[in-house]
């Protein structure tokens, strides 16, 4: 049986749950119309397309994974996972105000990208990969 969002949150280490909920609320409040659903075993957030997902890692970190992270240009220095095909991660370490400001900056760019033609991106993904190298 698939986990619900509440069950996923309940499975996170107790000392991380409050910070996880803060990040979740921050994402949901960042733009009108963001929806939340379970996909691939973690909560996903979407507008027109998958925007990002929120996960607690095995290293007891909280990460926001950006579904079209490969396309992030202005904020690529704020995310990790450049060795991955498409997804880029924003990892919280201290849950500081600066980290939330940086997350907001990445979210803003991701939301702008979400307004563009995702199917065109998927067709031309190799072009994006070559530009990033």
Q: What is the mean predicted confidence (pLDDT) over 101-114? A: 94
What is residue 133's predicted lDDT score, i.e. its pLDDT? 41
Q: What is the mean predicted confidence (pLDDT) over 1-16? A: 90
What is residue 58's predicted lDDT score, i.e. its pLDDT? 83
pLDDT grade for 126, boundaries at 50, 70 and 90: low
- CA–CA–CA angle 4, 23, 16 (5° rounding): 75
Q: What is the mean predicted confidence (pLDDT) over 86-106? A: 93
Strand pairing category for 50-56 and 62-66: antiparallel
- Could you count the other beta carbons within 10 Å of the beta carbon of residue 36? 14
What is residue 129's predicted lDDT score, i.e. its pLDDT? 53
Output Rg (C-alpha) for the chain, integer angstroms.
Answer: 15
% the chain with pLDDT above 90: 62
Q: What is the mean predicted confidence (pLDDT) over 15-24? A: 94
The overall average pLDDT reported for the chain is 88
Query: pTM for the full model?
Result: 0.84
CATH code of 49's domain? 3.90.1150.200
Q: What is the mean predicted confidence (pLDDT) over 103-117? A: 90
Distance CA 13, CA 130 (A): 39
The string of pLDDT tens digits covering residues 32-53 is 999 999 999 999 999 988 999 9
Examine the pLDDT at 25 and tell me if it is beyond 80. yes
What is residue 92's predicted lDDT score, i.e. its pLDDT? 93
19: containing domain: 5-132
Domain count of the fold of the chain: 1
């Amino acid at each position: 049986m698939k986990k619900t969002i509440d069950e996923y949150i309940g499975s996170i280490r107790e000392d991380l749950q409050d910070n996880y909920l803060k990040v979740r609320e921050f994402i949901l409040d960042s733009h009108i119309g963001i929806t939340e659903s379970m996909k691939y075993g973690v909560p996903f957030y979407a507008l027109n397309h998958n925007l990002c997902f929120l996960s607690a890692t095995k290293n007891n970190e909280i990460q926001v994974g950006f579904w079209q992270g490969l396309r992030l240009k202005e904020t690529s220095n704020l995310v990790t996972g450049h060795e991955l095909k498409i997804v880029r991660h924003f990892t919280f370490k201290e849950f500081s105000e600066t980290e939330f400001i940086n997350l907001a900056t990445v979210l803003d760019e991701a939301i702008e990208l979400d307004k563009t033609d995702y199917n065109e991106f998927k067709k031309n993904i190799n072009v994006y990969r070559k530009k990033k190298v």
